[in-house]
Amino acid sequence: MTSQPRLAILGLGSMTGAILTGLLAASVTTPDRISATTRSAASAQERAAKHGVTVHSSEEDPDANLTAVREADVVLLGVKPKDIVATAREIAPALRPETVVVSVAAGVRAETIAAALPAGQPLVRTMPNTPLTVGSGVVGVAPAAGVTEEQRALVESLFSGSGLVVPVTEEQLSAVVAAAGSAPAYVFLLAEAIAKHAVQLGLDRADAEAMAAATVKGAGLMLQRGVQSGDQTAEQLRKAVMSPNGTTERAVAVLQEGGFERLVAEAMDAAAARDREMGEEFAG
């Protein structure tokens, strides 16, 4: 494709809002080439003001989703997993054969979505995460059968200016949910816990929250730099903080003896298992 893509975003919410912010910041396309929808009129108004794009509500205009997809090169399905099939079925009559449908939904399998679309409609499953909004996201991209190289590249180009794009198989998407899609929440939980306890240890709440945020950001930047350059792994960076018989050694020992690694693994297993479970739950 030579010009910037025309994009329909059905269900402009937390995840697709993050994608949209990231792709507009990266100048992948322009606001006038985007048509988006939400369920309620209030959320349509709020999202239009936030992103500077046209947003229609499916409650106010029952044809909003159909209208949004007619001219689109790419349709992002951003509704909840339980609503994906109904939305795919709803838009099917208005899709052009070359329009690429992209799902960001956890769990719902390509074959389930494809069954609701016209036969042969190009379909790509993805698993993004919300840090795309600040240009530091991750997205796993798994094209379904029949997607051309050009269509795959078009979908990847929506994300490549705002994060790490990892081509994966559909089977690997459950691991991507565990390691990336859900993972910002683990980091936010850690920041919450650090800030809460810093208050118990005597800091002001505002200072504690700012300190937790700055530490997560700083550690993240160091880790990314280390991994990208191949110079330092997470383990090496951690060990560089741990002076022998110092404070960090004591803290990390508490985390390790308390089963930190096992807990993270169990949390990731739970996320991946729920992803697979949703695949069954929403299968036709």
Ligand X SMILES: NC(=O)C1=CN([C@@H]2O[C@H](COP(=O)(O)OP(=O)(O)OC[C@H]3O[C@@H](n4cnc5c(N)ncnc54)[C@H](O)[C@@H]3O)[C@@H](O)[C@H]2O)C=CC1
Ligand Y SMILES: O=C(O)[C@@H]1CCC=N1
Q: Report whether 258 belongs to an annotated binding site.
A: no
Nearer Cβ to ligand X, position 38 or 151? 38
Report yes or no: 76 and 57 within 8 Å, Cβ to Cβ: no
CA–CA separation, 79 and 85 (whole Å): 10
Taking the C-alpha atoms of residue 123 and residue 155, their distance in angstroms, rounded to an integer, is 10
Minimum separation from the CB atom of position 105 to ligand X (A) = 3
Q: What are phi and psi of 138, to 5 degrees?
A: -135, 145
- The amino acid sitting at 255 is L
Query: Is there a binding annotation on residue 278?
Result: no
Report the b/e string of 120-139 with b at 16+ CB within 10 A.
ebbbbbbbbbbbbbeebbbb
User: Is 12 part of any known ligand binding site?
Assistant: yes
Does position 10 interact with ligand X (CB under 6 A)? The reply is yes
Report if residue 65 touches ligand X, rule: CB under 6 A.
yes
Is 23 marked as binding a ligand? no
Which of ligand Y, ligand X, none sits in contact with 87, Cβ below 5 to 8 A by type?
A: ligand X
Q: Which is nearer to ligand X, 64 or 212 (CB)?
A: 64
Residue 38 engages ligand X in binding (rule: CB under 6 A): yes
What is the C-alpha separation between 282 and 19, in angstroms, rounded?
A: 24
| Binding status of residue 137 toward ligand X by CB under 6 A | no
Matching residue, tokens 């709440």 = 205
Residues that bind ligand Y (CB under 6 A): 106, 177, 181-182
As given in the structure block, the two tokens for residue 4 are: 């910037």
Rounded to 5 degrees, φ, ψ at 25 are: -65, -35
* Helices assigned H by DSSP within the chain: 14-25, 41-51, 64-69, 81-91, 110-114, 149-159, 173-176, 183-200, 205-229, 234-241, 247-257, 260-281
Residue 21 contacts ligand X per CB under 6 A: no
With respect to ligand X, which residue has the nearer C-beta, 89 or 217? 89
Q: Does the annotation list 15 as a binding residue?
A: yes
Q: Please, what is the minimum distance in Å from the beta carbon of residue 106 to ligand Y?
A: 4
**67 lies in the binding site for ligand X (CB under 6 A):** no
Which residue, 5 or 131, has its beta carbon nearer to ligand Y?
131
Nearer to ligand Y, 5 or 128 (CB): 128
221 labeled binding residue: no
129 binds ligand X (CB under 6 A): yes
Residues contributing to the site for ligand X (CB under 6 A): 10-15, 37-39, 43, 58, 65, 78-81, 83, 87, 104-106, 127-130, 181
Q: Which residues are annotated as a binding site for NADPH?
A: 65
